Amino acid sequence: MVKAPRMQARITLEDVAALARGCAVLGTGGGGDVRPGAIAARRAIREHGEVPLVSLDDLPADALVLPLSGIGAPTVSHEMIHGEDEPVRIAEEIERILGRPPAAVMSSEIGGGNGVAPVAWAARLGLPLLDADAMGRAFPEVQMVSMYVAGIPANLVVMADVAGNVVTIRPIDGLWSERIARAVCVAAGSSALMADYVLTARECAGAVIEGTVSRAIAVGRATEGAADPLAALTAELGAVRLLTGKLADLDRRTTGGFARGTATVEGTGDDRGRTLTLEIQNENLVALEDGRVRAMVPDLITVVDTQTATAVQTEALRYGQRVTVLAWPCDPLWRTPKGLETAGPRAFGYDLDYLPVEKIA
C-alpha cells in the first residue's frame, strides 16, 4: 500500500505544459516529441484524475516500481503514436510474471516525450508517478540507464506495440537487453513501449536519479512570462551558450531503430563567421566548432528557438531555423568511470576523452 504522499504532490492539468517544455529541453533532441505525450496526459488527467507525484520515501520498501518508456526512432514515433492499452498490457504481464502488480510508474528517461507520457500511463493505470527517472536526460540505448551504472542486473524486459504484441525478454545483461529489445523494436516498426529494470522501492534507492519530474517542471516554468526567455532558460539550467545562428545544413536518416545524422548551425549576429556541427543519434551527442569539441555526452546539448527558448528536437530540425545551442553538466552519476563507460563519447564510437562542458567553456 502506498503511503500518503507529501505535500505538493500531484501532477495537474496546469502542470502539463511546463512539464512538456522542461522535458523537451532535457531531451537533448531525443526522447520523442513531447506534444503527443502532453495531449495524452491532459486527456488522461481529465478522465482519471490528477496523478500523485511521490518520492521513494512515500513508497513501501517492497513496492514495485514500473519504469516505462518508448523505444525507437523519434522520426517514427512522431507518426506512430502509442495507444492507451500498451501500458496496461505491460503491467498485466509484469503482474503475471512477478505475482503482484506495480505500485508506481517511473519514467525511464525524463527527456522528451518519454518524460511526459508517463503521466498518462500512470493515470491510465491508476498509479502514482515516481519523482525520478533513470537518466536525468535522454539517451538512445536501453542499457544507458542509472540502474545499469549501479550494477543492477537487467533480468526482465517487457515490450508492447500498437498491434497488440507483448514480448518478454530475459537478457543476461544490459548490453544484451539493448540488442534484443532493439531487434524487437525494429520488427514493430521502430516504435514500441518498454518496461525494464522493474525494481522495488528499496532497490531503486541510489540506483535512480531522484527529483527529475519536479526539475523538468521547474525548467519549463523558467520561461513563463520572461522578458528574455533564452536568458531565463540559460540561467535556470546553468548552461553555456555555444552558438546562436541559423540551421544551414541537415543530414538525418532513420536506420537500425535510431535517427542518426548531423546538423550544422551557422552563426549570426555576434557569432557571424562561426559554425557549429552537431552529431546526432536520436540525441545531440557532440558539438564541434572548426574540429574542436565544444561539448559532448554525457553532458546535455540542446537546440532551442532563439526567440522563445522552446527546445527543437532532432526530428523537427529544419533548414533556416533561427536557433541557439546550449550545453550544461549532466548528473554526477554519468561522470563516474562506469557512467562514462556506459554513455560517454567512446560508448558512441567517438575517439574522444571526456571533458566536462564547464571546463571546455
Domains of the chain, first to last: 10-214 (3.40.1610.10), 226-360 (2.40.390.10)
Environment class of 200 (CB within 10 Å of its CB; exposed 0-12, middle 13-18, buried 19+): middle
Amino acid 141 reads E
> Above pLDDT 90, what percent of the chain?
81
User: What's the confidence (pLDDT) of residue 256?
Assistant: 64
Instruction: Indicate whether 319 pLDDT > 70.
Output: yes
Count of alpha carbons within 13 angstroms of residue 234, beta-carbon side: 18
Predicted model pTM = 0.92
pLDDT band at residue 140, thresholds of 50, 70 and 90? Answer: confident
- pLDDT, tens digit, 9 for 90 and up, residues 34-66: 999 999 999 999 999 999 999 999 999 999 999
E strands, the chain, are 10-11, 51-54, 64-72, 104-107, 129-130, 132-133, 157-160, 166-169, 191-196, 199-200, 209-210, 240-255, 258-267, 275-281, 283-289, 292-296, 300-305, 322-328
pLDDT of 5 reads: 41
Which of 265, 14, 260 lies closest to 140, judged by CA?
A: 260
One-letter amino acid for residue 194 of the chain: M
Cis peptide preceding 298, ω within 30 of 0 = yes
